[in-house]
Structure 1
């Protein structure tokens, strides 16, 4: 059966979905996006993603194309129509298609935003084998633009980073700027030293992860110490544990960095416990 997608007010079979060649998302990467996980047919942390979407739009001087309730209705409708039990809902909003190419923003009263949503079925998303064995990462130079706190569709360098990792026989890459880790290609990065979880503080240099916020809150509630500061690759390699968080990986252990094992080279107890807590609590609050 064909997947049903949403394009500018219509639910369509994916083969029939079309946007203009003049859409600024295509021509200028002038758009933002969010990805919300689905577990047991319910949305995980939808409100957090909706709030961040509004912030990203505001930072690019774009008005929200619809209310949170309308967005929630579309998300739920797509999950239902496509029978998603475990998977993702991808949402992209661009500045629209003004009818020609120009660097100057079009008048929003004359050019409506483009709104696209689609689902991806991911059976085993919550309990896949990767969490049990951990992932390996390499370090690369962070060459992205300066406003990484805005979740834009400018994903070329993160894609290149994923390919660098793949060519090196690793699973992902951690980006480094001025000697310190910023984040992964599509995730926030952490190390564990004793009972202390260390992760970079929020700023324009990293994405303000929705999963990050939830995990750090759960960690504090579990009496774990959280330290928000910079750390280097060398410090990460000598840590007891390392892990990443994102809406699609939840809490994922990192067992090797640039060929050096982290801790015992196997997933550690802190990341395992945080993953367990996150999944339990997020499922309770899912809508």
Structure 2
């Protein structure tokens, strides 16, 4: 069935949704995106995603296309129109369309699009199996805390890793881990501490990252936010990645070296269970 998408104030069948070839999102990757998960008919971590959207747009000087109430209403409407009770809601805001030029008038009228993906988020075989990562040199632009659509390097490196039998890549800069291609990376030390990279321009300020840290602290787990090396990651008891699209996925090997005993560890599994339980109880209902 054709999905209904939202484009600049109109609800359209996906085949009829058209964006200008002069849109700066297409020509310059001059755009921001966000992804909100849906489970049990509830929006997951919605407030945090909406807040990050505003921060990212502000960082690029793109005006927010709608007010807060309208943004929430659009998320609810698009889920209802497409019958999404489990899956993902994507939105993208570009600076707008103009004849191609590195310089742009201020402001342009933003291009605002939303669409859904039906997906069985709660049935992820990688939760029980874990994934393997390959380290690669960091090659993205320096302002990674802004959630832009500049994803070519991440996509290319992940494709190369897949061809070599890995599930994903882990970016490394100046000897220290930044993050995976589209997820934050965390380790559990041999002493039982949850260690994750501290927030800076070097990595995306992940919403699920923050939620997992909060739940870990509430559960009495010691946490530490700092940079760490690949060697420290390989010597960890456990490792995992976090993202809005898959919540928490255990990492069982890095560059062919087992992390821990090479199987899904108990701490990561516990944090995943805590996250799912909490979000099922506290997610924002789509139906009002």
Q: TM-score category by the smaller chain?
A: over 0.9
**1:130 has 2:129 as partner:** no
1:274 Cα deviation from its structure 2 partner: 0.4
Q: Matches of residues 204-215 of structure 1 in structure 2 within 5 Å?
A: 204-215=201-212
Residue in structure 2 matched with residue 277 of structure 1 by the alignment = 274
Shift in Å at residue 261 of structure 1? 0.7
Name 2:64's counterpart in structure 1: 64
In the TM superposition, residue 62 of structure 1 has moved relative to its aligned partner by 1.4
Shift of 1:127: 2.9
Runs of 4 or more consecutive aligned structure 1 residues displaced over 2 Å after TM superposition: none
Cα displacement (A) at 1:269: 0.5
Shift in Å, 1:107: 2.8
Distance across 1 between alignment mates of 2:106 and 2:225: 41
Post-superposition shift, 1:204?
Answer: 0.4
- What pairs with 1:46-65 in structure 2 (closer than 5 Å)? 46-65=46-65
| Partner of residue 118 from structure 1, selected from 112, 115, 122 | 115
Following TM superposition, by how much is the alpha carbon of 1:69 offset from its aligned partner in structure 2, in angstroms? Answer: 1.4
1:105 is aligned to: 104
User: What secondary structure is seen at the aligned counterpart in 1 of 2:144?
Assistant: coil
Counterpart Cα distance in 2 of 1:140 and 1:206: 15
1:24 corresponds in structure 2 to 24
TM-score, structure 2 length as denominator? 0.97
What's 2:89 paired with? 89
Is 1:229 the counterpart of 2:237? The answer is no
Counterpart in 1 of 2:200?
Answer: 203
Q: Please give the per-residue CA displacement for 1:234-263, whole angstroms capped at 9, x wherever unaligned.
A: 111111000000001111100010001110
Name the CA distance, whole Å, in 1 between partners of 2:141 and 2:104: 19
1:231 CA drift (Å)? 1.3
2:269 and 2:36 map into 1 onto residues whose CA distance is 22
Task: Return the offset for 1:106.
Answer: 2.1
Shift, 1:232, TM fit: 1.4
| Corresponding residue to 1:174 among 154, 170, 188 | 170
Q: Deviations over 1:167-220 (max 9, x none)?
A: 110111100000010000000001101320111100000000000111000000
Equivalent residue for 1:144? 140
Deviation at 1:37, TM superposition (A): 0.5
Q: Secondary structure at the match of 1:270?
A: helix
Partners of 1:106 and 1:285 in 2: CA distance = 42
Please report the RMSD computed on the Cα atoms of aligned residues, expressed in angstroms.
Answer: 0.8
- Number of aligned residues: 283
Q: CA deviation at 1:76?
A: 0.9
For 1:183 and 1:3, the matched residues in 2 are separated by 33
Q: Secondary structure at the match of 1:53?
A: helix
State the alpha-carbon separation in 2 of the partners of residues 41 and 23 from structure 1: 33
Instruction: Kindly indicate whether residue 181 of structure 2 is the aligned counterpart of residue 185 of structure 1.
Output: yes
CA distance in 2, matches of 1:167, 1:140: 14
Three-state SS of the structure 2 residue aligned to 1:112 is: coil
Q: 2:259 aligns with which of 257, 262, 266?
A: 262
Structure 2 CA distance, aligned partners of 1:106 and 1:7? 22
